Each structure stands twice: as structure tokens, then as C-alpha cells.
Structure 1
Amino acid sequence: MPASLVGGIVGGVLLLKLPDTAFKAVVPGLILLGCILVALQPWLSKRINLPDHAHRGAWWVMPAVFATGVYGGYFGAAQGVLLMAILGIGMDANLQKMNALKNVLATVVNTVAAILFIIVADVDWLAAGLIAVGSTIGGFAGARYGRKLPPIALRALIVVIGIVAIVTMVF
């Protein structure tokens, strides 16, 4: 959680300081990378040397979660796709547990970025309210139904959502 917290702050500051062109250039590629990693996660996990101790993960998980926090504070959409890819490859846990952890980490990033924007930016409260309602409904529905899906179906759903996000941004 500390990596997500600091990453969310850094991402929020970058959003406030960088030009719009940086946003449009970087985000679709990050989402595509996440989709590829989620799709290949079972194959990649077999080839990565994970530590023997339970729940500790690979050494690079914490820096990658920080980078995803930066991305989430900067953009937010499809942050879960990237987190699922990182957690799926770097941790020795089942997909449903990783999905729950992903929800907690994304909540930390989104909360800290929202607090930053409230303090220093001119917020469009109608848009923010609509996004909050949609995110809350999606979060509860995702947590409820994500646990019930077989891992292959959940993985396929994550990839499809990521691809829809890319298509929406590019076209």
C-alpha cells in the first residue's frame, strides 16, 4: 500500500503539470502492455523464479506497483489491468485473491489522487460525482462476480475491458 500511496501522489502531480499531449501519447500503450501481461500471465509465471516464502512475491513487484500507482494517479482507467498483470506474474496467489488486492491498491491510488485534486485543482463536481457512482457500482460488482468466475474467464474479461479502453481512447 505505501507504493500505491506514493505513486498516486506522484501521478496526480504529473497530471496537473504535464501537457495533454503526453497523456494521449502514453496511456494506450500502457493499457496494451497490461493486456498482454494479463493474457500471458500463466505462461510467464511458470518461467519466473518466485521466492519460496509465501505472500512475499518477486523483488520487482513493489516498484511495479509504485509505477502503476503513478499511472493510476495520472490516468486511472485500466489501472486494474496493469495491477492484475503485475500481481499475477509476481505473486504466488490465486487470481481471486489478486483481484481483491488489486481493488485495495487501486482504491488507495484513487483516493490519494482525488484528495490532491480537491486541494489544488478546479474540480468539475458533476463529472466527479458520476465517475464516483460508476466506479463504486463497478467495484462492488467486480468484487462480487470476480470471485465467482473461473480464472480463465476473469482473465479474458480483464483483457477485453483493456482492449475496449484502448479502442475508446484511440478512436
Structure 2
Amino acid sequence: MNAMILIFSAGVLAGAMNALAGGGSFVSLPALIAAGVPPVQANTSSTVALFPGGLASAWAYRDGLRPVGAVSLRALLVTTLCGGLVGALLLLRTSSAAFTFVLPWLLLVASVALAFGRRIGEAMRARWHIHAHAVLTVQFALGVYGGYFGGAVGIMMIAMWGLLDNCDLKHLNAQRTLLVSAANVVAVVAFIAANAVRWPETLIMLVGAIIGGYSGARIGRRAPPGTIRTITLLATSCITLAFFVKTYAPTLLHR
């Protein structure tokens, strides 16, 4: 019972975080692991549990869908779907031990993207521009990352799209939401087909995430954006540090 309460509460918090600033998987994944779900299954179950909220956001943004610079949305969508499938299949072939070893680094990459993604994107735009074909290559790689783990992948996409000429960053939320959902949808299908989802925990977290997503959207209309961002970054940084300590401290102490 305590484990289920933990999972439901984590779902509520993760849904709220995704609605406010992103980073919900920083809460959902550790909660599932703490509840006894093996790491790889925890990641697949977290993806499935948080997917409906992302899909709802993509539907809400549908009127804003348009090409990204000179790159058609259809090309980006197909590329992301292919990358997401590759990432999901890679995850399914990853052992729990290997995933446990690499997880802190994935969390670190996502933390850096959440904290500095916009600044990094602005610095890159001041120095470089890339061709549409290069965008599709990077988009495939981000699709792989999205299907495998996906933390802060939407921010990474926007930073990369900003390197295109004549790309208006103010109107990319619809494309970002759709393509993150695209990477997730093929991953969800692959995880379900492979019977890699812990359904009791997933369904409880899914209900919590829906409640949290709705509540987070309402809170986001009133809470100062700076406060939300600060709390999100503090939480993600602490969780990342905790995973590094948990994974690598025992090894260092035994040397």
C-alpha cells in the first residue's frame, strides 16, 4: 500500500512538473525504482504512464503546427518516429545493470538541458547555422534519445532548430510537443508489445499524472515562472546527485 501511495504521489508531481516546466521523469522514474520495479521496466513504465498527458498537450497545440524553418513537419515527424523506435529497441536490449550504470549520466544530460538549454541554444545560434539535411540527422539522434530516455528532449530539439535560418523560436511549442509525443508513441507501442510494462504501477501513476497535469496547468497560470523554474532545477539537480551517489559511491568506498 505504501508503495502504491508513493507511485500515485509521484505521478501527480510528475504530471504537474511536465505541465509547468518539464522534467517529470525525474520524479516518476526514481519513484518506480524505489517501489521495487527493475530500472529498465521503471523507465518503460514511466514513459507509458506520462504519455497520455503529453499526447493531450500535442492535441491542444494542433492549430500551431507548421514547418520548422525550411524543414517540413512531415519529414521531422517520420525521422523522429524512426529514431524513437530505434531508441526504444535499444532500451529493451539494455540490461538492468547497464541501465543503472548509465542512468545518472542520462539524468545529468537532462539536468544540463533543463538548466542551460536556452542559453546554449542562443550561444550556438550566434555562431553557427546548419542545413536542413543536418537538422534531420540530429533530429533522428534526438528521436533515439527520446525513445530510450527522453529527459528534456523537447528543449534539445528547440535549441537545435534554432540553428536553422529564418526559424522563429517563438512558435515552436506545437512542433516540439508533437515530435516529443511522436518519439514516445513508438516507444510506448514497442514497450507494450514486448510486455516490458509493469501495469499495476503504471496505471496508478498514469491516473496521478493526469490529475497532476491538470492541477499543474492551473497553478502555472498564477505562480511566477521564475519560482517554478527554480524549484524544478533544484529538484532535478538533487535527484541527479542522489543517483550518482547511489550508483558510484559504493564502488569508490571499496577501492
Deviation at 1:122, TM superposition (A): 3.3
- The answer to whether 1:93 aligns with 2:173 is no
Opposite residue 183 of structure 2, the aligned amino acid is V
Check 1:110–1:43 CA distance in 2 against 1; reply closer, same or farther (3 A cut): same
Q: State the distance in 1 between where 2:232 and 2:169 align.
A: 20
Deviation at 1:160, TM superposition (A): 7.2
Would you say the 8 A contact 1:32–1:163 is kept in 2? no
Would you say the 8 A contact 1:34–1:85 is kept in 2? no
Cross-structure match for 1:24: 103
Cα RMSD for the two superposed structures: 3.4
Would you say the 8 A contact 2:130–2:163 is kept in 1? no
Cross-structure match for 1:77: 151
Which 5+ residue runs of structure 2 have no aligned equivalent?
Answer: 1-76, 243-255
Residues 48-100 of structure 1, C-alpha deviation per residue, up to 9 Å, x if partnerless? 2356xxxxxx44221111111111111133222322322234461123x2222
Q: State the distance in 2 between where 1:34 and 1:168 align.
A: 15
SS in 2 for 1:47: coil
Identity among equivalent positions (%) equals 24
Check 1:104–1:131 CA distance in 2 against 1; reply closer, same or farther (3 A cut): farther
Taking structure 1 as the reference length, what is the TM-score of the superposition?
0.70
Alignment of 1:77-156 (within 5 A): 77-90=151-164, 92-95=167-170, 97-133=171-207, 134=209, 138=213
Residues 24-71 of structure 1, C-alpha deviation per residue, up to 9 Å, x if partnerless? 2541343245343422222321222356xxxxxx44221111111111
Would you say the 8 A contact 1:12–1:117 is kept in 2? yes
- The answer to whether 1:7 aligns with 2:87 is no
Check 1:79–1:119 CA distance in 2 against 1; reply closer, same or farther (3 A cut): same
Q: State the distance in 2 between where 1:16 and 1:111 align.
A: 15
**Size of the alignment, in residue pairs?**
154
Check 1:160–1:72 CA distance in 2 against 1; reply closer, same or farther (3 A cut): farther
Would you say the 8 A contact 1:4–1:68 is kept in 2? yes
Q: State the distance in 2 between where 1:74 and 1:62 align.
A: 18
Deviation at 1:120, TM superposition (A): 0.8
Q: State the distance in 2 between where 1:132 and 1:99 align.
A: 23
Q: State the distance in 1 between where 2:157 and 2:210 align.
A: 16
Which 5+ residue runs of structure 1 have no aligned equivalent?
Answer: 52-57, 147-152
Cross-structure match for 1:61: 135
Check 1:16–1:89 CA distance in 2 against 1; reply closer, same or farther (3 A cut): same
Opposite residue 107 of structure 2, the aligned amino acid is P
Check 1:66–1:160 CA distance in 2 against 1; reply closer, same or farther (3 A cut): farther
Cross-structure match for 1:34: 113
Q: State the distance in 2 between where 1:68 and 1:87 align.
A: 12
The structure with more radius of gyration: 2
Q: State the distance in 2 between where 1:64 and 1:160 align.
A: 30
Deviation at 1:14, TM superposition (A): 0.9
- The answer to whether 1:165 aligns with 2:236 is yes
Deviation at 1:137, TM superposition (A): 6.1
Taking structure 2 as the reference length, what is the TM-score of the superposition?
0.49
Would you say the 8 A contact 1:8–1:71 is kept in 2? yes
Cross-structure match for 1:54: none
